[in-house]
Amino acid sequence: MTTREMKVTERYLHLPVKNGAPLRRMRFLVEGSVEREFDIELAEGAPDFWVFSDLSAFEGKWLRVEAEGLPDGSDALAALRQAPSVPDADTIYRERYRPQFHFSPRRGWNNDPNGLVYHRGEYHLFFQHNPYGREWGNMHWGHAVSRDLVHWEELPVALYPRRYGDWVYSGSAVVDTRNTAGFQRGLEDALVAIYTSTGRGECIAYSTDRGHSFTEYPGNPVVRHRGRDPKVIWYAPGKHWVMAVYDEQGEGDALSKGIAFYTSPDLKVWKFASRVEGYYECPELFELPVDGNPENTRWVLHAADGDYTIGHFDGQRFVAESGKHRFCHSDCFYASQTFNNIPCEDGRRIQIAWARAGHPEMPFNQMMGFPVELTLRTTEEGIRLFAWPVREIETLYRARHAWDHLTIPEGSLSLDGVSGELLDLSLELDPGSSTAAGASVHGVPVTYDCVKRELSCLRWSAPLSPVNGRLRIRVLVDRLSLELYANDGRVYLPVCAVIPEGSQGVELFTRGGTAVATRVEIHELRSAWEPA
């Protein structure tokens, strides 16, 4: 065991990381008590990057750092340093492969969005987070807030593991406006996080300072079962809470994976209500009007892959009407969640997913998908879920380019003047006599195959048919992704791709004949990390 002691005089402790180095168990002890314990690829010599731990809770106290398994003569702990700011604070968000309008953490790994909730003018995004390295592990709840779903501020870690091995897995958050749990202090409604503790079960913690700090409920766990990832909503007709949670039963070949439903009057005492089979991880449950008609609604149930079932829910049981239906047509999407507590005057159902995009040269890994608004609409196949980028993307609009009725000869047609790296492109296309047509964006082709009736980008494709002889395709372009939406969101096809450095412009192309771009509109975007 190698140790080092120091008095906490600054907010942050910087820790050196070397990708691929042996994982070392590290502990922080304050006044003899283990406060944090985690694994880290601790650097010997020059690090690949620095991570950090917020020590503000221990200001003025003595900190003992312990690390297991370091070789004799190691100077790894000597390299630890305190500082008033996070590492490379002046260059964060300007790294070459940093997404510019998708959320990513300053350092470390992130995956599932957790606890999406709107509260007092802020959208809260909690997320699965390893603060100490680029790879999955050490699961905490990271935390970021935004007032417009585009510009995010990362806050300190919201939920730490109770102890090593008892990790904080996925879950949800609610605003207890009726004070059903009794956690309210003064006039401030309690924000309640519901999460999986891997060592105990489903647990809750509450905040009375708008999510800046959380207190664990002493009666945890509130539900014990084989499963994880609780999504909690308020069911107004029954005046109770509902938990939809991934649940396993049986063993081996008889293993059943599904979603269990529990109900509670107060978030603390839960009663099993029902279960449906055939779903895996990260449940989601919400109600939407069909074609915008509040008198005609359906409930949507899905799990981590996003494939959804449409049906009815009475507060205890879900009855399927149709599905499963495919929602997303790529792997740049997983474990999506929608926001609780969106104000009635807004009324949108807003979703964020884990986008599974990263780059090995960066000190962070993975990002969130761009927020989308979900709607239910009647189609020739029945009621289906549509996805469309939230309107707040317009806050990033910079230069605008537009063209009408462009004939695209066989081959390609460059769109002059488009020089931006970050783009919001809309294309209305009449395929004409072509066998394939589309747009090349920074050298990445977005192709409609007129014979197969498929929209594709790189190795991913989705079925798509013209409406009144035309296709409507929209593409959001960031440094690590292209997100495709077709025919007003009937098709959702986000693709993880490293965009080549420097703008290569936009070209329209056809094969096997000519086509007509009846309308092209491109907005160049500014970075969400730039000052307004």
Contact of 440 with 506, CB cutoff 8 Å? yes
Closest CA to 484 of 456, 516, 442, 452: 456
**Percent helix, percent strand, percent coil in the chain, to nearest 5:** 5, 55, 40
Closest CA to 354 of 511, 174, 480, 211: 480
Contact of 298 with 316, CB cutoff 8 Å? no
Q: What tokens appear for 438 in the block?
A: 């589309």
Contact residues for 112 (Cβ-Cβ < 8 A; gap 6+): 127, 128, 170, 229, 282, 304, 334, 335, 337, 354
CA dihedral 24, 64, 137, 46 (to 10 degrees): -50
The residue assigned the tokens 């009621």 is 383
Work out the number of other CB atoms within 10 angstroms of the CB of residue 456: 21
Contact residues for 319 (Cβ-Cβ < 8 A; gap 6+): 311, 312, 313
Active-site residue identified among 39, 112, 424, 449: 112
Active-site residue, 209 included: no
Rounded to whole angstroms, the Cα distance separating 473 from 58 reads 53
Residue type (1 letter), 447: T
Contact of 276 with 318, CB cutoff 8 Å? yes
The C-alpha angle 242, 247, 252, rounded to 5 degrees, equals: 170
Q: What tokens appear for 147 in the block?
A: 């007032």
In the chain, what's the furthest Cα-to-Cα distance? 77
Rounded to whole angstroms, the Cα distance separating 63 from 65 reads 6
The C-alpha angle 447, 448, 451, rounded to 5 degrees, equals: 130
Active site residues: 112
